[in-house]
Amino acid sequence: MKKLKFLLISIILIFSLVACSTKTNTLKETSNPTESNTITVNIILKEDTKEFANEEIKTTAGNNLLSLLKDNFEIVESDGFITSINGREQDENEGKYWTYTINDEYATTGASDCILKNKDSVVFSLAKFENE
């Protein structure tokens, strides 16, 4: 009788260990947090309507635009405003400033407050600002 109990408990224990082992392997194969958190954003830089950069950049979901720019371009900012990208500076005397659109709509927040989404297209333009 003791041998039968020992054999039965051993078999149950072995099946339990195999079942747990299979679940762990399945989770490792199906979940890849790095891949699922990656988004692609297109960044276009223009000066006076002439494009000088067009980059498709992979980044982490939830990343803000300013962080993405700092990681991929030479950025200078002052008081929260971008004043230079890759050495192209805005010029207050000429009235040339950096502005940007996201998916063809003018941004309503600063780059640090703009949270990016997959397939966003961001266009930064350095051009003369006409005050009407």
Domain spans of the chain?
A: 2-31, 37-128
pLDDT in tens, 63-105: 999 999 999 999 999 887 899 999 999 999 999 999 999 999 9
3-state secondary structure of 18: helix
Query: Which amino acid does the sequence have at 102?
Result: I
Nearest CA among 102, 78, 108, 106 for reference residue 92: 78
pTM of the model: 0.70
What CATH number does domain 37-128 carry, 3.90.76.10, 2.170.130.30, 1.20.1290.10, 2.40.50.140? 2.170.130.30
Q: How many residues does the chain have?
A: 132
> Is pLDDT of 51 > 80?
yes
CA dihedral 70, 75, 78, 81 (to 10 degrees): -70
- Per the DSSP assignment, residues forming a β-bridge with 45 are 53, 124
